[in-house]
Structure 1
């Protein structure tokens, strides 16, 4: 199991993924697209990297907006895996 990060480590790692915000034991990102089709296409891009990492985001689609939430459920909070996945997701367009 991945080790939980300290509050200091979380704040340091959060600076590396500026479009993500720390919210309790999660990090979140809101992406806005032209329309629903583009939002779903973006979500489909997440499948391969999430499967490869064995780390799956919680997703919410609302028309042209996608909210992505990451946490390491089995560790009970944020780990390096969450920030690594956030970085991968941020590199997608």
Structure 2
């Protein structure tokens, strides 16, 4: 696992640039299970996590929510029976920032 999970999110201003495709490609190997997708013109990191039942999925959702609150960086989370889909992106800049990769790595660590 990369050291991204040990890093903290940095303050991000609304005029901060989104990551370039080259920067995304350089960081992607650190979170290999995550997919880069685009919704409404904004790139996001997305991953679906699988669980035995709804209770486990709900507990993981709470764990990710706690990580998000601690970092003051919040994802979109869809909790279903046996699965949780998490999307990280930086709302303030309308795309991906290093913080999203940090939080994806922290989410992976919470899953293991």
Partner of 1:48: 66
What is the deviation of 1:47?
2.2
**Cα distance per residue 1:27-79 (max 9 Å; x no partner):** 10000100000000111111221111111110111211100001101101000
Q: Please give the alpha-carbon distance, in whole angstroms, between the structure 2 residues aligned to 1:22 and 1:80.
A: 13
Partner of 1:38: 56
Q: Tell me what 1:18 maps to.
A: 32
Q: Secondary structure at the match of 1:86?
A: helix
Give unmatched runs, 5+ long, in structure 2: 1-12
The aligned length equals 93
Q: TM-score, normalised by structure 1?
A: 0.94
Measured on the aligned residues, the alpha-carbon RMSD in Å equals 1.0
Give every structure 1 segment of 4 or more consecutive aligned residues whose post-TM-superposition deviation is greater than 2 Å: none
Unaligned runs of 5+ in 1: none
CA distance in 1 between partners of 2:80 and 2:66 (Å): 22
Aligned equivalents of 1:3, 1:65: Cα separation in 2: 32
